[in-house]
Structure 1
Amino acid sequence: MHETLGVQYDLSTLKGQLDREELARRPPGLWRYRELLPVVDPAFRFDLGAGGTQLAALTRIPDAVTGNQLFMKVEGSNPTGSFKDRPIGVAASVALEQGARGLACLTSGNIGSAMAAVAAKAGVSALVLLLGAAGLADQGAAVNVEKYVQISAYGARVVTPTSSLGQLYALADRIEAELSWSFLHNVQAYQTDGDKTTAFEICEQLGWQAPAAVFVPTGTGTNLFGLWQGFVLFKELGFIDTLPRMFAVQPVGADSLVAAWEAHQDIPIVIDHIKPNLAPPISHRVSGYHAYKAMQESGGGAVAVTDEDMLAALKDLATYEGIYTEMASAAALAGIRRALVSGLLEIGDAPQTSIVGILTSHGLKNSLALAQVFPSQTYVEGTWEALGGYLEST
């Protein structure tokens, strides 16, 4: 009853069509892996440049001296600034290939940006039901200003509904029936196919090897599940020999997978109330069983991190490595640190020594919300004496 629907591929045929050399000849990007994606007609493979993101080796950050190779997959460099360009790029393309006349979604931001961009490229209408924070449809939470502006810039119509999630999902069905549009939550099975491409790229970038462990900031869990599917598929195709351990990273107080994993439950736990935190995109009362199952199958686990953990990781990534990421994304590095300190992650004897964190979105997605945790703007007189005094004092 808990199984998640997905797309099945003819592995025997694919093995005859694809090999490492063929993939290496292709340009980077989402559609590099077109045979492993569910869009048949090339005319509907809408390409905004998603995928092909950097796998950045952390060389200056203090964590890099642990002896393990520490990498971050920088998904904030996708066209709309988040990893959602992959799953939404695929799901929206499938929906339009199947005849949808427009696109709609329910989101706290990143899904809406990705969908609106595809709709603009395809020349179809887009409607975004924009929530203040994940799972807070009826609590009056303020929307993210940066994401609202970005979605609006793509030409989508944006409204913030004041109803329960149950009512909104009923509204989604009505949108599809009345307008012949596709509500993207109803084609979620295709979204995980887009997430798989992140795993494909990581393996290629590590020299056709899987990492020892992957840490994923996790809300609903679709990204973690899609990544796991990608690693499994690459192993089935013979492109890699081993599989990584998958770890979910969640904010304290919005950590349903952590609670279930620590209590040895069979399914994720539903949290009564989300504790306010600085990472709304990954703050849900419950995460998906599919992600929980991927954690278990891979021998991974789940880690809870505090606002202080995430903020320290965000600052270190920017200060030492020049990578500016959203707070929810910085949870990846924060989770790695927690796992190493607690002993949850011990890979010294593993054949692979690399650890990968998924930085899911760019820091410009949520800069205003962090203004209060950084020093206020400093003003100095435009003279060398004034500037020199400032530099000496700091």
Structure 2
Amino acid sequence: MRLLHTSDWHIGRTLHGADLLAEQEAVLGSLADVVAAESVDAVLVAGDVYDRAVPSADATGVLDRVVGRLLAAGAAVVLTPGNHDSARRLGTFSGLLAAAGLHVRADTRRLDEPVLLADEHGPVAVYGVPYLEPELARHELGGGGRESGPRSHEAVLAEAVRRVRADLAGRPGARSVLMAHAFVGGGVPSDSERDICVGGVDLVPAGVLDGVDYVALGHLHRPQTLTPRLRYSGSPLAYSFGEAGQDKQAWLVDLDAGGLAGVRAVPLPAPRPLTVLTGALEELLADPAHAAVTGHFVSARLTDPVRPVDPMRRLRTRFPHCVHLEWTGGGARDGRSYRERLHGRGDLEVAGEFVGHVREGVGATAGERELLARALGAAGREERAR
């Protein structure tokens, strides 16, 4: 049995306001090529299928086309909701979809009912555990009154895995895969994940997930191996500039008669890479060394001592996909707060100090001070005339 472990598609996500649907469809569509080339039996999507609970029509269209390509390539698809998804919406028509090969496991109360696959060695039970929000999931998993259920991520996931093990015990000889969306101890986060901390406790010890042959994790966007059988696939695209230069991948998971036989990484394409550029505006616009990244998504960190005029418009003449701008230049301040520097000063001094403040120490010129004085005088006369 060969599985392709992915997660955190986040269809519909933007990058500093830039639409990523085209890039997402290109990368996710390439998974169908992997399915065909590697004879993949099933594609696993461990949560955060969409980026929001109510996805746009365009986002649902991307998922429809991507899943269609995966099914046409010959693989079943098993997906679970993450903390960004609405489990109820994602699970709509799940019974009908299963007949076509798309298995949506979104019902917490049925998380111990596996998707059953089979090969020449017998059955493979794939348990899809949806993201478990403790305050909600504890009522469904507690089996009693309002105060009876577990309250932490560790507790609700431990209860979920206990139920999975109990079901697996009644399937002798079956190999097992668990899909879960959680922050497991030992994982390294990126700056593009939404915090799932509840009450200061979000980490789940890896030992909670013992008892199955392979655990396909989602939530963390950096691909990583916690143990040979416990892995994060990471997101298929970089969703923050903190991930610039990070190689994206999926995991090919092989199961033989005895369980886990091997796992290897499959690199994913980057239709539009992310690049961070640092320097003065004129240098960024002229330096031939940046020619190779003009088509990238760009974050520019400007080091000019004076804030440039209309820098984003100018940057986009060379880098049309520049989506983020940060000014880090300027001279040193004297250590006082802005309020302390203005205390006891008149309007013209305040205006002049403001100019120096936004220019990081480069004050107004004589001509600028004259213009400020005229503007302040006109404003004062208008105020007195009212």
The structure with more helix, counted as a fraction of residues: 1
TM-score by length of 2: 0.26
TM-score by length of 1: 0.25
Which structure: larger Rg? 2
The structure with more strand, counted as a fraction of residues: 2
Structure with more relative contact order (C-alpha pairs < 8 Å, separation 6 or more): 1
